[in-house]
Amino acid sequence: MKIESLRGESAAGRAVRPRAVARDSAMGAVAIALAALFGAFTGLPLAALLLRLPVASLADMMHQPIVIQALRLSFETTCAAAALTVLGGTPLAALLTRDFRGRDALASLITLPLVLPPVVAGLGLLLAFGRAGLLGHVLSIFGIQVPFSTAAVVLAQTFVAAPLYINAARSAFARADRELLDAAASLRASPVYAFTRVAIPPALPALGAGLSMSAARGLGEFGATITFAGNLPGVTQTMPLAAYAAAQSDMDAAVAISVVLACASYGALLAAGALSRVGR
């Protein structure tokens, strides 16, 4: 009886197995189809840009004064925003690795600009640094006008892009060897000295990757910039704003500027990926 029962269970298992294999194969095919469709959805706009790119007149378009000004301004403001991010974001990321009351709330507040609508971010900056803003009326006493200036572009880029660097730095510092930090403290090294000599060197690849992502985000910033800094050629008109302005009258120029931006952003992503692999 037991042998017959085992044979019956074995036969039932053989009958069920093909159904399970068929079901798994169908689910796998559906997953592959969905992945292909989403990949096509992601790549289609980029392919459309490349196909529309006026290769024959690209050199002439890139030598137009408005494009040269926007390129130079984007490079200068992105570098300035990156410097501010490193100077202020590195100690803030180190602070967030410590355990204190309200740390999670502070970390969420720092990350909030990543999910804020860009126009909301720009409006908040305007209400903070505008002539009648929280800090703007104090600055105006000293003759400092931040909105609709190049400094406003730097602040807008820093505000929306710094969280990418801070979160990457926080994760890197959290992996620091606590025993080495304790050993440095036991040798009477100051906390700043121990942090710069023990925690930062192993974290440099991750910091570089986070900074690359932050720079790419700042380079492509549009909404907060146009709300807080305006669209003044040579003063606040960065590459995204120049592409938007060119699209109103010269689509080929807008496409050329957009392709340059896409290539710069893709290069930053490749650099971030390479640095991440080095860190691992």
Q: Which residue has the tokens 């500027």?
A: 257
What CATH number corresponds to the domain at position 128?
A: 1.10.3720.10
35, 52, 69 - which closes a domain: 52
Q: Are residues 247 and 208 in the same domain?
A: yes
Both 43 and 74 in a single domain? no
Q: What is the dihedral of CA 148, 144, 136, 85, to 10 degrees?
A: 70
Residues of the chain with pLDDT under 50: 6
Shared domain for 201 and 174, answered yes or no, is: yes
Residues 175 and 71 in one domain: yes
Whether 123 and 257 map to the same domain: the answer is: yes
Q: Are residues 235 and 249 in the same domain?
A: yes
Instruction: Render pLDDT for 140-197 as a digit per residue (tens, 0 to 9).
Output: 888 888 999 999 999 999 999 999 999 999 998 887 766 666 676 666 666 677 777 7
One domain, residues 155 and 44: no
Domain that holds residue 203: 58-279
pLDDT of residue 177: 67
Last residue of a domain, one of 36, 52, 68: 52
Same domain, 67 and 27: no
Per-residue confidence (pLDDT) for residue 264, from 0 to 100: 87
Give yes or no: residues 48 and 134 share one domain. no
Asked if residues 147 and 231 have their Cβ atoms less than 8 Å apart, the reply is: no
Residue in 266, 265, 217, 224 with CA at minimum distance from that of residue 241: 224
The answer on 70 and 191 residing in a single domain is yes
End-to-end CA distance of the chain: 59
Residue-level pLDDT at 13 = 52
**Domain total for the chain?**
2
CA atoms of 23 and 31, how far apart (whole Å) = 12
Same domain flag for 66 and 4:
no
By residue count, the chain amounts to: 280
Domain boundary residue among 52, 75, 94?
52
| pLDDT recorded at residue 112 | 94
What's residue 6's pLDDT? 47
Same domain, 180 and 227: yes
Which pLDDT score, from 0 to 100, does residue 49 have? 83
Read off the pTM: 0.84
Tokens 């572009």 -> residue: 153
Residue 110 burial (CB count, 10 A): 18
- On whether the CB atoms of residues 73 and 231 are closer than 8 A, the answer is no
